[in-house]
């Protein structure tokens, strides 16, 4: 629907997804401070907890937010995909660019939403599955070719997740900003893509202190290029390329952590740079500014052609229900609220 309304303009849709309470949160006697009503409204409640008397836990104040849609913890992966991203996939098939971001604190459900599991694949896999289905339905009117790249921005360094090696250098050429030497895989089937992405995710930078655990400072970007080639009635070649970027952002809780003088604080400062740059770009787009500060970080440079202009942007803010992470949830909801169009 929204392609018709605004063919040339950028459109930002903002969604919230609440994840279920985890076992360890239940065991820590945490209670839910988030309520989702009518699939749109989010109520956040702060409790004052007196450490000496759990029975006197009392409600302090509440706040109410409204988004394009909000998903309760019972929402399925398919539900989230269909509501947030299906229209954008259709637009990309028409030759537009678009991007989908998951934003939120570490543990809030970003990777589950984007990548998911083999049993419950997330937005990345469902988008590609949908793309293949739509292409098959149209296979008579031309040739579609799908290529994938999967990369990471960590500590302002860009790496290829499908072909790990040296950091990649960003260059500006006729097509825009590209990561020189980034591998592109031709994709044929969804199963193969899931395997590729799971493998790529294993290549994400891990915490130095906790092997096997993806760093909360790592941004993962899946780029899907759809090329469409056909001939018109007078046999002229028509070539159309749409690009879809799906981004599992670094944990937002570190965006403001700048008070340490260790290596970690350097990494924190750089995350700060990419997430802050993304926030500035989105705010500038939402406010309709002419100048969008893409140049401020690797992440925003890479996404320059998929954020502004004739692009559609989807933001999914992931939150946890537990009052133990009230502050992070509040920050995420405020951030998402600011990303909405005025």
| Shortest Cβ 215–ligand ADP spacing (Å) | 10
| Shortest Cβ 147–ligand ADP spacing (Å) | 26
- If one counts every other C-beta atom within 10 angstroms of the C-beta of residue 228, the result is 19
205 binds Mg ion (CB under 5 A): no
Contact 245, 179 (CB under 8 A): no
- Chain contacts with ligand ADP (rule: CB under 6 A): 19-20, 22, 104, 106-112, 318
Distance of CA 22 to the CA centre of its chain: 22
320 binds Mg ion (CB under 5 A): no
Radius of gyration, CA atoms only, the chain: 20
Residue 167 site contact among ligand ADP, Mg ion, none (CB < 5 to 8 Å, cut-off depends on kind) = none
Site map for Mg ion, 97-126, x if CB under 5 A? --------------x---------------
Rounded to a whole number, what is the largest CA-CA distance in the chain?
Answer: 81
Q: 324 CB contacts (<8 Å, ≥6 apart)?
A: 25, 28, 30
Residue 65 site contact among ligand ADP, Mg ion, none (CB < 5 to 8 Å, cut-off depends on kind) = none
Nearer to ligand ADP, 10 or 70 (CB): 70
Residue 19 site contact among ligand ADP, Mg ion, none (CB < 5 to 8 Å, cut-off depends on kind) = ligand ADP
Nearer to Mg ion, 107 or 308 (CB): 107
| Shortest Cβ 329–Mg ion spacing (Å) | 16
What does the block give as tokens for 151? 């990369």
Tell how strand 143-154 and strand 219-231 pair up: antiparallel
Q: What is the dihedral of CA 35, 38, 39, 43, to 10 degrees?
A: -30
- What are the residues binding Mg ion (CB under 5 A)? 111
């Amino acid at each position: 629907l929204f392609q018709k309304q605004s063919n040339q303009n950028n459109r930002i849709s903002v969604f919230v997804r609440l994840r279920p309470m985890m076992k360890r949160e239940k065991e820590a006697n945490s209670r839910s401070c988030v309520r989702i009503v009518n699939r749109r409204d989010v109520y956040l409640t702060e409790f004052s907890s007196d450490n000496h008397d759990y029975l006197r836990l009392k409600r302090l104040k509440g706040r109410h937010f409204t988004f394009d849609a909000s998903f309760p913890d019972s929402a399925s992966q398919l539900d989230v995909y269909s509501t947030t991203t299906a229209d954008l996939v259709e637009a990309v098939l028409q030759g537009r660019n678009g991007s989908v971001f998951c934003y939120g604190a570490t543990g809030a459900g970003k990777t589950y939403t984007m990548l998911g599991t083999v049993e419950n694949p997330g937005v990345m896999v469902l988008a590609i599955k949908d793309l293949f289905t739509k292409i098959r339905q149209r296979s008579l009117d031309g040739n579609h070719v799908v290529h994938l790249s999967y990369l990471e921005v960590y500590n302002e360094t860009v790496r290829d997740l499908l072909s790990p090696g040296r950091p990649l250098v960003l260059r500006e050429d006729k097509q825009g900003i590209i990561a020189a030497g980034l591998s592109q895989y031709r994709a044929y089937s969804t199963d193969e893509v899931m395997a590729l992405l799971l493998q790529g995710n294993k290549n994400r930078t891990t915490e130095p202190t906790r092997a096997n655990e993806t760093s909360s400072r790592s941004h993962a970007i899946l780029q899907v290029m759809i090329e469409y080639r056909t001939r018109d009635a007078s046999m002229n070649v028509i070539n159309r390329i749409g690009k879809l970027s799906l981004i599992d952002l670094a944990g937002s809780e570190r965006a403001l952590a700048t008070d340490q003088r260790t290596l970690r604080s350097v990494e924190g400062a750089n995350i700060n740079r990419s997430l802050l740059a993304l926030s500035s770009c989105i705010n500038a787009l939402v406010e309709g500014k002419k100048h969008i500060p893409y140049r401020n970080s690797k992440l925003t440079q890479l996404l320059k052609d998929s954020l502004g202009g004739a692009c559609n942007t989807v933001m999914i803010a992931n939150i946890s229900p537990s009052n133990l992470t009230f502050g992070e949830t509040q920050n995420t909801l405020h951030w998402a609220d600011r990303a909405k169009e005025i």
